A and B are shown apart, each in its own frame.
Chain A
Amino acid sequence: MAVIEFQKVTKAYGDEVDVLRGLDLKVEKGEFLTLLGESGCGKTTMLKIINRMVSFDTGHVWIRGRKLSEWDIVTLRREIGYVIQQIGLFPHMTVMNNVAYVLSLQGIPKVKQRQRAEELMELVGLPQEFLRRYPRELSGGQRQRVGVARALAASPEIILMDEPFGAVDEQTRNLLQDELLNIHQQLQCTIIFVTHDIQEAVKLGTRIVLMNQGRIEQAGTKEELILRPANDFVRRFMGTKGFMALLDEKKMKHLYQQILEEKISMEEVYLRLK
């Protein structure tokens, strides 16, 4: 049974019609799905339909086999982790209270909340002392980590992330991506991750969904999208950038190391490429 299923879903915001134009998608348990596409193609809208932050017009959506409309909205949201682009940490609460927010809504005892918060800090690679700090006392990257920890607090089976690493420098982003992959492996949860960065989508996703103007152009593994594009749009969109992202980073590192150690010269590399 699919964890999330979209069937012919359409959406218009007032006179902004055709924001989503008949979306079909099945997400299986444990998938790390990256939603890729240009600005304005409907990625955020699609994501927000899942936790009912946005309604849809026609079609059907099921979450864990139950129609979206049959879910109690508060229960649904508490069972789905949610990280928004601007993180939205609560400035008047300590990191501890931010991370444990959903637990406190559920009335879970303080001692348990603290225990869980400590586990989560470990998981996202932050020192325990940070639990006492306020969000304003953290760097951008540290805030992103807290945002992720907060979304994981109630051990949700589904986690929605809307460009969570958009606002940090490249090095930090790489680190955060590696940690997220680690977390996904450990927790076996289903992640839906919105991004407009091809490299990020390729690196993180077990499956990539490429959207364009409210439609899904292709959904598949990175190899499928890059090497067997379903149409011209996919081919153009992924292009050499997708191909470069596909080349194993480790192999590149190895090659680079060999060049530095003069075991192989750059001329040889060029020759081979020809």
Chain B
Amino acid sequence: MLISRIFVLYRERSSFFVELFIQHLHITFLAVTLITVIGLTVGILMTRNRWLAGGILRVTSFLFTIPSIALFGVLVSLTGIGLKSALIAIVLYGLLPMIRNTYTGLTEVDREIVEAAVGMGSTPAQLLFRIQLPLAFPVIFSGFRTMVVMTIALGGIASFIGAGGMGRAIWRGISTNFPEMTIAGSLLIAALAIFTDYLLGMIERLVRYRYLGEGGEKHEA
């Protein structure tokens, strides 16, 4: 019964949901782009300085333990309500898996492979782009997948500080005591997250196969 009422709701308010869905995709896309660029850069720089690496890993892990609502609250008082605060919060959360996997992936490339590449006269850039990044790619990609799914989910909460997105449907449902609306919004977020996770998971398996061959899946990061 509830299900059919929700589908009726989707049909009747389709333009409302489509708009929110597009907003949600937009926030997710912005955040994912920012996190990927920052995360990759920081992860790469960390491999050049072990001391820096330890510090950054501790800071990002600490940020990760702060409840998202608390972080939103702090940010609202600093940067106000709106997309900016939401993006900052989402990016801070998403950085951990991206940075950690980039860093681990790069540092876990076999020492003898790096030694062979350096010994044959690779410049630091050639070493990074031809050897380290390709070999770390499966690990980095699995961090990317975690991060994207997390970002989609967090986007739902970000609406609470006026960033738009599917969270607005949830929020409206709660404030007007309209549970179908809340569930309709949550379902769309969940569906988007599950679908994206499935898609990225398939790509991940392909990537692992391409780089590690048969049984590549066994080498979990």
Contact = CB atoms under 8 A, between A and B. Distances in A.
B113 A90 contact: yes
B202 interface: no
A150 B115 CA distance: 14
Among the interface residues B115, B121, B212, which one has the most CB atoms of the partner chain A within 10 A?
A: B121
B211 interface: yes
Contacts of A75: 121
B122 interface: yes
B26 to A, nearest CB: 35
Interface residues of A, number: 27
B71 interface: no
B119 A53 contact: yes
Given A105-B126, A134-B213, A136-B213, A82 B135 contact: no
A101 interface: yes
Contact of B120 (A85, A91, A101, A134): A101
Given A84-B112, A84-B115, A86-B112, A92 B134 contact: yes
A91 B211 contact: yes
A91 B118 CA distance: 16
A203 interface: no
B120 A84 contact: no
A90 B117 contact: yes
B65 interface: no
Contact of B115 (A53, A91, A102, A134): A53
Interface string A86-98: 1111111000000
A78 interface: yes
A105 B120 contact: yes
B135 A91 contact: yes
Interface string B132-155: 001100000000000000000000
A271 interface: no
Nearest to B212: A91
A90 B119 contact: no
Interface residues on B, range: 20 to 34
A82 B116 contact: yes
A102 B121 contact: yes
A101 B116 CA distance: 11
Nearest to A104: B130
B131 interface: yes
Contacts of A101: 117, 120
Contacts of B211: 91-92
B110 interface: yes
A140 B117 CA distance: 20
B213 A53 contact: no
Among the interface residues A75, A101, A134, A151, which one has the most CB atoms of the partner chain B within 10 A?
A: A101
Contacts of A77: 118-121
B113 A91 contact: yes
B123 interface: yes
Q: Which 10 A-B pairs have the closest CB atoms?
A: A88-B116, A78-B121, A77-B121, A88-B112, A86-B112, A82-B119, A74-B121, A88-B113, A92-B134, A136-B213
Interface of B: 110, 112-113, 115-123, 126, 130-131, 134-135, 211-213
28 contacts: A51-B119, A53-B119, A74-B121, A74-B122, A77-B121, A78-B121, A82-B119, A82-B120, A84-B112, A84-B119, A87-B112, A88-B110, A88-B113, A88-B116, A88-B117, A90-B116, A90-B117, A90-B131, A91-B113, A91-B212, A101-B117, A102-B120, A104-B130, A105-B121, A105-B122, A105-B123, A134-B213, A136-B213
